[in-house]
Structure 1
Amino acid sequence: MAKTIFLTGATGYVGCHLAHRFLEDGYIVLALVRPKNDQSVQARIETAVTEVGPLSPETLTNLIAIPGTVEDSAETLASSLRAHFSSPIDELWHSAAIFNFKERERPLVQATNIEGTRNQLNLACQINAEAPPRFFYISTAYCLGSEFNSPVPERIPENVTGFRSIYEWSKHNAERLVDEYQRAGQLDANIFRPSIVIGTPETEVLCNSGYYQVLTECRRLRTVLARSQGAQFNGNVQTRLLGNPHTPLNLVPIDFVVDGMVYLAHCTQLDPQQTNLFNIVNEQPPTIKEVHHALVKSLKMSGLKLVRSEQFDVEPMNPIEKKINRRIAFQAPYMHEQIHFATEHFRQFVPQSILPPPNVDLTYMAQVNAIFLTQLDEGS
């Protein structure tokens, strides 16, 4: 019988790519989908997954929507799941999360990213009559604050402080929960930490967070100035953006992330008696300067300058600069901090001969930018 995978966050960016890959591999995918009034949960998940790429009608029969949310208790989730599927679950992949980062949103972030993870762990512990499913938690490479930048270790340190946002705080505490359940002998647990996930030229499924939020705001700036200046606008925006040109920006393509996670999930050498944790990152990342060059070229703009924070102390931001820098406040720390990542554990099981580092160069970024900007234009 085909392997059965329960997946949260399947309508999200990483989740829909995972679901598509699992279906292509012949698995049954039980996707947890939040109900909405305007569309059935089955229609929502099929739309999300087929945007990644076409699937045959026969393959889509293995995609089953389970109505619910990660905020639901394990008992509620189990009841909903068993109403649609009665056989054992082989693997539980927890991908769902929200990216809210403001302090006032802490209760919501905690309920979704931390308690939602606890609900999935409890579900994994009780869903099967015999052995629990293997548990895979999709975290983020940015979950240890500024204290662990050189490099970010492939482990869960004690007493982590200095989080850049409550999002980082929530993902770190969710990792600790996963590790606690594993240490208690309840689960075979694995944690995957992607960095800043971007699209590929081969797929037109993109997201509106991370790097794309910065690209969106820069496009918005250009549009506003073009409208206000009319025929006099020549593409020169004369705006300063917080960023260190020499900082590496760890952009990692979605196909690299999915290939790495799936390869590790199939790896029989992983020790089920410990929490296996991996940084899935770009070992040859572009710099902020290189990404900035691709961005302004794609937007046909000039005068967008990268400056360090101390320059704003000498010459304060003007109203436009305040607005754009406020809108990318979530991304700002990663645009000027020197952050590096350990990958020894990842490469112990996924050698470069199997999955070489991605080449995110100017050509690559130009192609991805073009796809995203076209989608923005079509949607506006």
Structure 2
Amino acid sequence: MSWPARGRRSESLITVTGATGFLGAHLLAALLRRDDRPVCALVRDDPATARERLSRAVRSTGARWEEAEFQRRVTPVKIDLPAPRLGLSAEDHHALARQTQELWHCAADTSPLGPVAALHRTNVEGTGRVLELLDAGEREARLFHISTAFVAGERREGMVLEDTLDERYGFATLYEESKYRAEVLVRDWSQDKGRPAVVFRPSLLVTDRPARTGEPRHWLAVQAARTSLLGRQGPALVLRASGVPAEDVTFPYTARVPGRPDAVVNLLQVDWAVAAMLRCAAREPGEARGVGGAKGVNSPSGPSSPSTPSSPSSPSSPSSQGDPSGLDRASDLLVTTYHVSHPQDCSVPWLMQIALETCDWLDVELDPELTPERMRPLDRSLMRLAAGLDPYWWSRRGYDRSGLEAATAGLEPPAALSAQYVRSGMTASSSSAGSACAGSASAGTSPDGTSPPGTSPDSTSPDSTPPAGTSTAGSAPKGAVTAHV
């Protein structure tokens, strides 16, 4: 490999992993706008292929540069993320480490269900190799590590503080656990080396821009692909898998699946997320920040919904007052963690209702009393299409945003997302639904990377949008609801 900046000791690089992904591409575009420093994109492709992928990924964000200027500013370097020295020669590894001024680690395997070895290699071992790169540098480059809000795991209720890192509740997916382990590595490295680090925990990042074939896809596009497949192929898709004769089923069909009608999830516009991250990154290490739990929270308990019960003795409904066991590791003062989330949660049934608009033969009833053992065969087949999503049909937790709000003071808050925004993000990708529905776990099917409000308390229409600043939980109709899987 030819290292283009070798020998220029004064060169200051911004080094980015995962720049061809959805968040990484938006971040790369923003970094290029921020200042004129060169960017080194660590990629897994050969340079020629990587240049095209990087250019296409950045164009998909709406950013535009002269191609010659883009190629001058961005240098792709092929690496093997979990390999010693990132798969680079000793000379190239040293040159990269010496010249890196800040490192944004976005690369991740987002497969929700494994295989576990691949998740560990990329998300845990890969993070370790990034930390080794920082250790090899002659300057103390700053680390910005992209984690996920879903390191909270199976904690279903209460308020997750920004500094909390706790495995007591277990994890809903193997992906969540691998990202948790990566965060532990970052905290241990920071403590051992006495070096600051910034950890960003984005919720589900989305956009309403069209997602074309070959471009990075976001969470809404992936969900659209699932329901688009059901809409195009009709009930035959699940009838074949379940072995249930078509004559035994009445259509439109109402499936019953385990879940709670008041479940919430947090979605955030990717453009706002990147702007917020850069505001946070501009702060000096150790600069004063908000204290978790005081204010700046997106809570699933709003003025129009009953308070969420919590019990510190129950793993499924922990206390919202922090972690009494001390596992939140708040003593790691060198690590600053931000929940990059929307101040408004989204009603899961509201999202489901919009997604199901492309599938007119199916309704789904979320039933909190239903167990997997009592599900009908056809419903089990539908659930398999939702693998990796179903744990979040039970969530009522919120995310503390105190540090984020302190760091982004003056930045206009993210707009409340309308049904039309969500619908656009879902329907725009329908042309590439075939490839998206092939079951590729690396297609972003896991929450990551990544806040449509629910319906208003007095309406079940998906076009209803609650006023800004209100909680969206409790806005779904009581009892059974129709939704997609």
Secondary structure at the counterpart of residue 114 of structure 1: helix
Secondary structure at the counterpart of residue 147 of structure 1: coil
Q: Which moved more, 1:203-212 or 1:146-155?
A: 203-212
Q: Which moved more, 1:325-334 or 1:220-229?
A: 220-229
Match of 1:34 in 2: 44
Secondary structure at the counterpart of residue 342 of structure 2: coil
In the alignment, does 2:424 pair up with 1:367?
A: yes
Q: Which moved more, 1:175-184 or 1:200-209?
A: 200-209
Structure 1 residue 287: deviation in Å?
0.5
In structure 2, do the counterparts of structure 1 residues 175 and 31 end up closer, same or farther at CA, with 3 Å as the change threshold? same
1:276 equivalent among 324, 328, 336: 336
Q: Distance in 2 between matches of 1:284 and 1:91?
A: 32
- 1:42-75 Cα shifts (integer Å, max 9, x gaps): 3332232233232223243101001012112236
Structure 1 residue 175: deviation in Å?
0.6
Match of 2:347 in 1: 287
In structure 2, do the counterparts of structure 1 residues 378 and 122 end up closer, same or farther at CA, with 3 Å as the change threshold? closer
Match of 2:442 in 1: none
Can you give the 5+ residue segments of structure 1 that lack an aligned partner in the other structure? 230-234
The one-letter amino acid of 1:121's match is: L
TM-score between both structures, scaled by the size of structure 1: 0.85
Q: Distance in 2 between matches of 1:86 and 1:115?
A: 18
Contact kept? 2:225, 2:432, Cα under 8 Å:
no
In the alignment, does 2:99 pair up with 1:88?
A: yes
In structure 2, do the counterparts of structure 1 residues 162 and 314 end up closer, same or farther at CA, with 3 Å as the change threshold? closer
- Of all paired residues, the percent bearing the same amino acid is 21
Structure 1 residue 210: deviation in Å?
3.9
Structure 1 residue 221: deviation in Å?
1.4
Structure 1 residue 244: deviation in Å?
3.0
The one-letter amino acid of 1:21's match is: A
Contact kept? 2:43, 2:76, Cα under 8 Å:
yes
Structure 1 residue 208: deviation in Å?
4.9
Secondary structure at the counterpart of residue 155 of structure 2: helix
The one-letter amino acid of 1:31's match is: A
Q: Distance in 1 between matches of 2:32 and 2:279?
A: 15
Q: Distance in 1 between matches of 2:353 and 2:400?
A: 27
Secondary structure at the counterpart of residue 426 of structure 2: helix
The one-letter amino acid of 2:85's match is: A
Q: Distance in 1 between matches of 2:87 and 2:160?
A: 37
Secondary structure at the counterpart of residue 191 of structure 1: strand
Structure 1 residue 7: deviation in Å?
0.6
Q: Which has the higher helix share?
A: 1
TM-score between both structures, scaled by the size of structure 2: 0.68
In the alignment, does 2:153 pair up with 1:110?
A: no
Contact kept? 2:156, 2:394, Cα under 8 Å:
no
In the alignment, does 2:54 pair up with 1:45?
A: yes
In the alignment, does 2:220 pair up with 1:160?
A: no
In structure 2, do the counterparts of structure 1 residues 42 and 208 end up closer, same or farther at CA, with 3 Å as the change threshold? closer
Q: Distance in 2 between matches of 1:347 and 1:78?
A: 42
- 1:24-48 Cα shifts (integer Å, max 9, x gaps): 22332100110269x6333332232
The one-letter amino acid of 1:215's match is: A
In the alignment, does 2:412 pair up with 1:355?
A: yes
Structure 1 residue 120: deviation in Å?
0.1
Match of 1:222 in 2: 231
Q: Distance in 2 between matches of 1:378 and 1:159?
A: 35
The one-letter amino acid of 1:90's match is: Q
Q: Distance in 1 between matches of 2:182 and 2:435?
A: 37
Match of 2:242 in 1: none
Contact kept? 2:210, 2:429, Cα under 8 Å:
no
How many matched pairs? 369
In structure 2, do the counterparts of structure 1 residues 219 and 75 end up closer, same or farther at CA, with 3 Å as the change threshold? closer
In structure 2, do the counterparts of structure 1 residues 46 and 323 end up closer, same or farther at CA, with 3 Å as the change threshold? same
Q: Distance in 2 between matches of 1:22 and 1:157?
A: 28
Contact kept? 1:165, 1:330, Cα under 8 Å:
yes
State the structure with more CA Rg.
2
The one-letter amino acid of 2:203's match is: S
Q: Distance in 1 between matches of 2:402 and 2:417?
A: 21
Q: Distance in 2 between matches of 1:379 and 1:316?
A: 27
Q: Distance in 2 between matches of 1:378 and 1:168?
A: 25
Structure 1 residue 84: deviation in Å?
8.2
Q: Distance in 2 between matches of 1:288 and 1:96?
A: 28
In structure 2, do the counterparts of structure 1 residues 76 and 132 end up closer, same or farther at CA, with 3 Å as the change threshold? farther
In the alignment, does 2:363 pair up with 1:307?
A: no
Contact kept? 1:155, 1:277, Cα under 8 Å:
yes
Secondary structure at the counterpart of residue 310 of structure 1: coil
Contact kept? 2:134, 2:140, Cα under 8 Å:
yes
Contact kept? 2:156, 2:396, Cα under 8 Å:
no
Match of 2:393 in 1: 335
Q: Distance in 2 between matches of 1:154 and 1:164?
A: 19
Match of 2:326 in 1: none
Q: Distance in 2 between matches of 1:149 and 1:63?
A: 43
The one-letter amino acid of 1:27's match is: R
- 1:76-109 Cα shifts (integer Å, max 9, x gaps): 4474756986962110111111123336x22221
Q: Which moved more, 1:67-76 or 1:11-20?
A: 67-76
Greater relative contact order, per chain length (Cα 8 Å cut-off, separation 6+): 2
Structure 1 residue 253: deviation in Å?
1.3
- 1:322-344 Cα shifts (integer Å, max 9, x gaps): 23311322111112221211111
The one-letter amino acid of 1:301's match is: D
Can you give the 5+ residue segments of structure 2 that lack an aligned partner in the other structure? 1-9, 240-250, 289-332, 438-485
Contact kept? 1:34, 1:69, Cα under 8 Å:
yes
Match of 1:325 in 2: 383
Q: Distance in 2 between matches of 1:239 and 1:260?
A: 40
Match of 1:232 in 2: none
2:278 equivalent among 255, 258, 262: 262
Secondary structure at the counterpart of residue 190 of structure 1: strand
Contact kept? 1:78, 1:123, Cα under 8 Å:
no
Q: Distance in 2 between matches of 1:148 and 1:74?
A: 39
Structure 1 residue 283: deviation in Å?
1.3
The one-letter amino acid of 1:18's match is: L
Match of 2:261 in 1: 245
Q: Distance in 2 between matches of 1:206 and 1:325?
A: 28
Q: Distance in 2 between matches of 1:96 and 1:288?
A: 28
